[in-house]
Amino acid sequence: MGLVRGSQWVVWGGLAVLLYAGLANHGRDVKVALARLDGPDVRATLAGPDAAPAGSDLSAARLDPDVRDAGPVEKIALAKPEIDVTPLKAADECVLAQDCVDQYLWLVYERAPKMDTIKVKERIKVTVKTKAKTRTVMKTVTKLVDEDFTWKDPKAAQKAGMSSKDYVIGGMDRGFKARLYRLFRALDDAGLAPGMTSGFRDDYRQSIASGNKAATDSSYHGGSRRGGYGHGLAADVVSVKGATRSERWLSTEILWKWIDAHGNEFGIGRPYL
């Protein structure tokens, strides 16, 4: 993740590409980062899925750039979780009531499947024939497999001695949450069914994150070098609309296009690689 300096600080994502680019990685979250201005106004910057389109994109996160294909890729069947895409309801006074904002964001978080697609290398025996001789050699193949990271936030919350809601939502910057709330309400009203797969992350939670990611203490999700709890300025966002993962990937792409077109209205946008 790089940082660009100008009249404002802009966080450039690489996850969800990790907000990042890989449209091929359908499950990756899309990262939202808050940029601080020199003036009193605070602007949030939304990074694409880890691989970006991500960080990545219009939808999914990018695969770990350090992993090189060592052979053929075997695709594994994707899970098909049941997801409620009914627009979430919240009173307009939420802009003034922090508990209401937090509850709405928690519902957006809860309804998103915590699934990702990662590369796993495996050594297999292959029989080859050369010059009329047959021999067995070892070959490395790369598989694309589903990773269910539902357990990671609860584990980090337990380690921190708090509930999952207080950890994931409570650890984010208050102003950032207000902007996310307004953005998510608009996305819900537009029928885009936003879901959040990650909010606050402390150093421990960052250490167990997979794929392309910031250093353990440097994540804008809330790393200790960024201020820690209460200062999280990033969230991974996807669309949960669709019965299959491929359909949700396409929905996420549409969601990101909408954010590109309307993000300035909410002080939120995403950086481009």
Q: What pLDDT shows up at residue 11?
A: 30
Mean pLDDT value across the chain: 73
pLDDT score for 49: 36
Task: Give per-residue pLDDT as tens, 17-56.
Answer: 233 222 223 333 334 443 333 333 333 444 433 333 333 3
pLDDT value of residue 116: 78
- Which pLDDT belongs to residue 107? 96
pLDDT tens digits along 187-246: 999 999 999 999 999 999 999 998 778 899 999 899 999 999 999 998 999 999 999 988
- Position 242 scores a pLDDT of 94
Q: How many CB atoms lie within 10 A of CB 68?
A: 9
Would you say the C-alpha torsion 107, 111, 114, 117 has a positive or negative sign?
A: negative
Q: Tell me what percent of the residues of the chain surpass a pLDDT of 70.
A: 64
pLDDT at position 146, please?
82
Q: What is the pLDDT of residue 53?
A: 33
**Whole-number percent of the chain with pLDDT over 90:** 44
What local confidence, expressed as pLDDT, does residue 88 receive?
67
Backbone angles phi, psi at 117, to 5 degrees: -115, 125
Q: Which residues contact 227 (CB under 8 A, 6 or more apart)?
A: none
- pLDDT of residue 160 exceeding 50, the answer is yes
Q: Name the burial class of residue 16, with classes exposed (0-12), middle (13-18) and buried (19+) by CB atoms within 10 angstroms of its CB.
A: buried
Residue 130's Cβ-count burial label (10 Å; 0-12, 13-18, 19+) is exposed
Highest mean pLDDT among 53-57, 120-124, 162-166: 162-166
Query: What global pTM score does this model have?
Result: 0.65
In tens, the pLDDT along 123-142 reads: 998 888 888 788 888 999 88
pLDDT at 164: 98
Q: What is the pLDDT of residue 8?
A: 30
Residue 121: pLDDT band (50, 70, 90) is confident
